[in-house]
A and B are shown apart, each in its own frame.
Chain A
Amino acid sequence: MDKNELFKTAALAKLKLDDEEADKLAAEVSAMLDNFSAMMEADVEGLEPTTQTLQKENRTRSDSTGSSNLSNQLLDRVPEREDRFIVIPNVM
């Protein structure tokens, strides 16, 4: 994988990479991708993909509110806040 592709991928993943890091990672990612190419030999003709193993039945929850409210504790863990709002740099 070249560095250009790496930076494109990093942008999608919101990862900032410095140049030195990028060189190292490009090599490592490439090595892993080479490794992945072993899959190309596998005969997967006619096989359905498996995304989960035993989850065969419907699972739902009834539409009723929970009892414990942790909202204040969650707010205590927010890095930047103003009253009950969470604050970040301006989006515009």
Chain B
Amino acid sequence: MSDIKRWAKALTESADSYKKYVGSWEEKIGSFLQFDPEAAQADSSGQGLLAVIPFGVKDNIAVKGFNMTCGSKILENFDCPYTATAVENLQKAGAVPVGKMNMDEFGMGSSTDNSALAETHNPWDTSRVAGGSSGGSAAAVAAGQVPFALGSDTGGSVRQPASFCGVYGLKPTYGTVSRYGLTAYASSLETIGVCAETAGLTRDVFKAMRGKDIMDNTTVEYKPSGKDDVETVAVLKAGEGDLNVDVLRSYKTSIARLKDLGYKTVEVELPTLKYVVPAYYVIATAEASANLARFNGIRYGLAAQGAETPSALMEETRHSGFGDEVKLRILLGTYVLRSGFQDQFYHRAQKIRTAILNDFNRIFESADALMMPVFPTAAFRHGSSDLTQLQQKAADLYTCSANLAGLPALAVPSTIEEGLPVGVQFMAPAFEEERLFRIAEKLEAVFPAQKPEGYSQEWKA
């Protein structure tokens, strides 16, 4: 019986020991905001490639039967009346959503510490963060609570926690997976993505959930070139000033492994890389300022009491409902769109977006895929002692470029450095996810992902 089929026991013959196993990890890492294997079981087809396989869903993705809090007080008790298309597609393939995963409020953060509702810790070292914003999703997969969990990747929010926790993390090509049901943070940048325990499962989940959707007008036909095999991998040049010692060591190991596996490598640079973080934050916050305007205490969610005017109702609801990081980004986004400032910020950022796209196109003219670091550090400690919020943002440079360009990227577990996993990411032209899976599988066959202490599959026996 393949390993994925054994997961079907979690909701059938081994249900009790499964729940016990999930519970024992929950005390240590707090990856779930809600865990309820029965809540939506009836909505799954019960048959298909992923029949009765449990999975987690980041709490900014709609699943009927569960709440959708987005890690925010403003939606703390919001009982979601509908289901996201991507989740529905997985339910058709038989998979069962068993819970909602903790996250940085509205996806804004790199640590999951910005959740207003719960704390999540890294399964490898609970004094450290699981990464973010899909920290709950990555932590749960790393701990073996679920074989896979959906996340959302706006600037690296699937790949960075996947790397921090030692699991696979896919950000698909923009427009291939419907965003219908994904609470919008930055609409033109983000996609639903997946954290999974193996490269093969990442592929299966991606195939099951993707598809053109009438409910999301930005979804497109899936049209890969058909050239799935990778011969040449471009490797982004990175040195001491770019990565910390542990990550640089790991990155060098990854390059060596690629060569060992017979890939032709070529070192490249991305001239635009130094501008991507500001461009990313300008576009992301601008879109967020509009996307988060709908939370105003009138139709659902938190509502301030005793307000005497509609304006007061909206202002007070938003004042008490949003956390600091969300307010900061709404203010920034509002500011960069104000008349008089648009050219300087928003329009310029979009031109930089074109420049990074051109950079990638140039690289893919002579390489089938591109390897880059995921993040300059491994999982950092809670709080700001390792990295301030501002430093955390600056560290998004390797991940957010894929979002600006709409390209697929896969974070792959690579080495363990000082007891912490470090991943590396591969990027490919649009629709060429298969190339990423093939590289990952080749690496996986020789260097399988390692597991944190306490990880067990005994409950499946």
Within B367-405, which residues are at the interface with A (CB < 8 Å)? 389-390, 393-394, 404-405
> Mask for B437-452, Cβ within 8 A of A = 1, else 0?
0000000000000000
Query: In the assembly, what is the distance between CA of A39 and CA of B343, in Å?
Result: 12
A55 / chain B contacts, CB cutoff of 8 Å: 175, 217-218, 220
> Is B299 part of the contact surface with A, judged by Cβ < 8 Å?
yes
From B131-139, B332-340, B412-420, the one touching the partner chain is: B332-340
Within B248-285, which residues are at the interface with A (CB < 8 Å)? 272, 274-275, 277-279, 281-282
Is the beta-carbon distance between A50 and B354 smaller than 8 angstroms? Answer: yes
Is the beta-carbon distance between B188 and A77 smaller than 8 angstroms? Answer: no
Of A28, A51, A61, the residue contacting B328 (CB under 8 A) is: A28
> Mask for A34-54, Cβ within 8 A of B = 1, else 0?
011111111110011111111
Query: In the assembly, what is the distance between CA of A58 and CA of B460, in Å?
Result: 48
From B177-185, B237-245, B300-308, the one touching the partner chain is: B300-308
A68 to chain B, nearest CB (A): 9
Is the beta-carbon distance between A36 and B351 smaller than 8 angstroms? Answer: no
From B7-15, B77-85, B95-103, B228-236, the one touching the partner chain is: B77-85
Of B312, B336, B355, B393, the residue contacting A47 (CB under 8 A) is: B355
A18 / chain B contacts, CB cutoff of 8 Å: 319
Query: In the assembly, what is the distance between CA of A77 and CA of B324, in Å?
Result: 26
B contact face: mostly helix, strand, loop, or mixed:
helix
Is the beta-carbon distance between B338 and A9 smaller than 8 angstroms? Answer: yes
Query: In the assembly, what is the distance between CA of A78 and CA of B301, in Å?
Result: 8
Query: In the assembly, what is the distance between CA of A40 and CA of B31, in Å?
Result: 40
Chain B contact residue count (CB 8 A cutoff) = 72
B222 to chain A, nearest CB (A): 11
Query: In the assembly, what is the distance between CA of A74 and CA of B299, in Å?
Result: 8
B401 to chain A, nearest CB (A): 12
A9 / chain B contacts, CB cutoff of 8 Å: 331, 334-335, 338
A57 / chain B contacts, CB cutoff of 8 Å: 220
Is the beta-carbon distance between B299 and A78 smaller than 8 angstroms? Answer: yes
B185 to chain A, nearest CB (A): 15
A43 / chain B contacts, CB cutoff of 8 Å: 355
* Given A13-B330, A79-B298, also A53-B405 (CB < 8 A): yes
Is the beta-carbon distance between A12 and B338 smaller than 8 angstroms? Answer: yes
With both beta carbons as reference points, the residue of chain A lying nearest to B350 in the complex is identified as A49
From B33-41, B109-117, B151-159, B289-297, the one touching the partner chain is: B289-297
Is the beta-carbon distance between B345 and A36 smaller than 8 angstroms? Answer: yes
> Is B20 part of the contact surface with A, judged by Cβ < 8 Å?
no
B172 to chain A, nearest CB (A): 11
> Is B54 part of the contact surface with A, judged by Cβ < 8 Å?
no
Within A67-92, which residues are at the interface with B (CB < 8 Å)? 70, 73-74, 77-80, 86, 88-91
Is the beta-carbon distance between B278 and A36 smaller than 8 angstroms? Answer: yes
With both beta carbons as reference points, the residue of chain B lying nearest to A90 in the complex is identified as B309
Query: In the assembly, what is the distance between CA of A16 and CA of B327, in Å?
Result: 10
29 contacts between A and B (CB under 8 A): A5-B335, A12-B334, A15-B322, A25-B324, A29-B328, A35-B278, A35-B393, A38-B278, A39-B278, A39-B279, A39-B282, A39-B348, A39-B349, A40-B348, A49-B350, A50-B350, A50-B354, A50-B404, A51-B188, A53-B174, A54-B174, A74-B299, A74-B300, A77-B300, A86-B298, A88-B298, A88-B313, A89-B307, A91-B309
Top-3 shortest CB links A-B: A53-B406, A49-B350, A79-B303
